[in-house]
Chains A and B, each alone.
Chain A
């Protein structure tokens, strides 16, 4: 019998070890799996490489993971955000590494990684400093830059509903990177607002098919990052 449901965030992240590469879903706070990130802070795994569009805000969620000095490298497109001071402060003193990737190239690298495509060419960034040192090839009269697919050991994502097979549906723009990260990770861990029996989700509306998902934990009333930041909360 297949049942990917677990009881607690602590259980689903327990085997994340030092040096792991982790994709974390979310665009700003929308889709950020804040309870899974906090469980990872409790676990304490260090020297992590984290893939996310941003670097978190305030002193909770991804920003708190960075502030707890568990992240040695960020791969992202936009590391500055309102209320984001943790990453900028560490970056300016050389305490954290940054690989800056254009947002669409980041998304396609993740998609390619999950789809078994090792590399691809894109026109994005041609002629800019982000293409320096990369292979350029001309197709039909236009230059393109070679970019590599991106895979990870784990993905931490948030969804609206899951079933016990790991089929997922999302909520509005909280979907963002999560479906492609689920494809690109060796082990995908989802926190779900609700978990239902197989058959309860309409197969026509499932966004992430269950084979891309390994573990599910129900977080019925997830924290809202902006609310925690407004309240001046810190984690731990």
Chain B
């Protein structure tokens, strides 16, 4: 099914921008935040006015700013995705061991990441499909999920092939065990609760049964 919003038709689901916008509502004022590559990077654009958020990038910068203006690019000022960025007034640089002490030591409040699979107990798989011919590459994903206080996931509810990404247990290699707190998909916002996946909000034009049918594990209706 199409989940693209269209001004001429009734909106069904959230697109990538809207998923990022919904996640941004849960970034609190004063938070220190690390954003993964892909849709999570878009969260920056949607943090509500009046909230001051400091972005951490694990290659050694606290206070990451927007993309540089043309002509202002600096190849020695980059983010974890190796894209050129800027530093805000009040930013700080540091070496890799300090950067991961911030992560592993529990000093970063929120990390927003993508996912291949999330299990109902909060297990996350987002670094490898386990394919034999693949080149394994993990980067900082395992450190982030082990150390950051709150892990949010932004992901399509299903794969392009229509397979559920929210599952009873991950078939792909794990990034971390019981680490995810909340998932923002194109269909819904879902918490990891002690009883498993718990729907707390539906995207426009989506009903509970639709989400349940596309979820590979039990889904509780947690709307109040």
Q: Does B114 contact A (CB under 8 A)?
A: no
Q: Assess A27 versus B59: contact at CB under 8 Å? Given A104-B140, A123-B104, A176-B95.
A: yes
A171 touching B136 by the CB < 8 A rule?
A: no
Give the size of the chain A interface in residues (CB under 8 angstroms): 50
Which residue of the partner chain, among B57, B137, B175, B177, contacts A77 with CB atoms under 8 Å?
B137
* Complex contact A107–B99 (CB within 8 A): yes
A96 to chain B, nearest CB (A): 11
| B 144-203 contacts with A by CB, 8 A | 146-147, 173-177
In the bound complex, what is the Cα–Cα distance between A218 and B87 (angstroms)?
27
Which residues of B sit under 8 angstroms from A177, Cβ to Cβ?
95-96
B139 close to A176 (CB less than 8 A): no
Q: A92-B133, A180-B96 are in contact. Are A78 and B176 (CB under 8 A)?
A: no
In the assembled complex, the CB of B50 is this many whole angstroms from the nearest CB of chain A, namely: 29
- Tell whether, in the assembled complex, residue A125 and residue B100 are in contact, meaning their CB atoms are under 8 Å apart: no
Contacts of B93 in A (CB 8 A): 170, 172-173, 175
| Residues of chain B lying within 8 A (CB to CB) of residue A128 | 142, 173-177
Determine the chain A residues whose CB is within 8 A of the CB of B146 once the complex forms: 122-126
Interface pair A127/B176, CB less than 8 Å apart: yes
Is B143 a contact of A98 with CB atoms below 8 Å? no
Q: Which residues of B contact A98 (CB under 8 A)?
A: 136
A102 within 8 A of B: yes
Chain B contact patch, size range = 35 or more
Is residue A108 contacting chain B, with contact meaning CB distance below 8 A? yes
Report the separation of the CA atoms of residues A100 and B142 in the bound assembly, to the nearest whole angstrom.
12
B97:A111 contact, CB within 8 angstroms = yes
> What residues on B are CB-neighbors of A31 within 8 Å?
76
Tell me, rounded to whole Å, the shortest Cβ–Cβ distance linking B22 to chain A: 29
Which chain B positions have C-beta within 8 A of A186? none
**Is A224 close to B, CB under 8 A?**
yes
Indicate if A129 sits at the interface (CB-CB under 8 A): yes
Interface pair A173/B138, CB less than 8 Å apart: no
Contact pick for B137, options A27, A79, A124, CB 8 Å: A79
Q: List 20 A-B contacts (CB under 8 A).
A: A27-B60, A28-B82, A30-B77, A30-B78, A31-B76, A78-B137, A92-B133, A103-B100, A103-B143, A104-B58, A104-B142, A108-B97, A125-B142, A126-B146, A172-B93, A175-B94, A176-B59, A176-B95, A177-B95, A180-B96
Residues of A within 8 A of B (CB): 27-31, 77-82, 87-88, 91-92, 98, 100-108, 110-111, 122-130, 170-180, 207, 224, 226
